[in-house]
């Protein structure tokens, strides 16, 4: 994982807990409250709290919406492989 100046572990994620923890660290770095993210993303406080704590059964669509709301994105590529980091957004893919 790549550490930024504030030690947020951006990079490969291997567990739900790592993803939630990264999302929480990013949110706090941006000085956003759960209530603010909840309002901006139309997501419940309960869902956001459970997601940040690593709930294994968090709904993937809501997780992606939470990440988008926080200004984060998911990039999928083969493990250990290299390849393009970004694919162009297509209409209707949910990208802002």
- The fold of the 2-69 domain, in CATH, is 434 Repressor (Amino-terminal Domain) (1.10.260)
Query: What ranges do the domains of the chain cover?
Result: 2-69
Greatest mean pLDDT range, 11-15, 28-32, 80-84: 28-32
**SS3 letters across the chain:** CEECCCCCEECCCCCHHHHHHHHHHHHHHCCCCHHHHHHHHCCCHHHHHHHHCCCCCCCHHHHHHHHHHCCCCCCCCCCCCCCCCCCCCCCCCCCC
Give the pLDDT confidence of 25-36 residue by residue, as tens digits.
999 999 999 999
pLDDT at 9: 80
């Amino acid at each position: 994982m790549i550490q930024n100046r504030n030690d947020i572990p951006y990079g490969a994620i291997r567990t739900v807990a790592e993803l939630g923890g990264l999302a929480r660290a990013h949110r706090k770095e941006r000085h956003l409250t759960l209530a603010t993210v909840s309002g901006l993303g139309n997501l419940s406080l309960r869902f956001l709290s459970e997601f940040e704590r690593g709930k294994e059964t968090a709904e993937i669509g809501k997780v992606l919406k939470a990440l988008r709301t926080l200004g984060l994105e998911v990039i999928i590529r083969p493990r250990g492989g290299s390849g393009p980091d970004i694919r162009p957004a297509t209409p209707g893919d949910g990208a802002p």
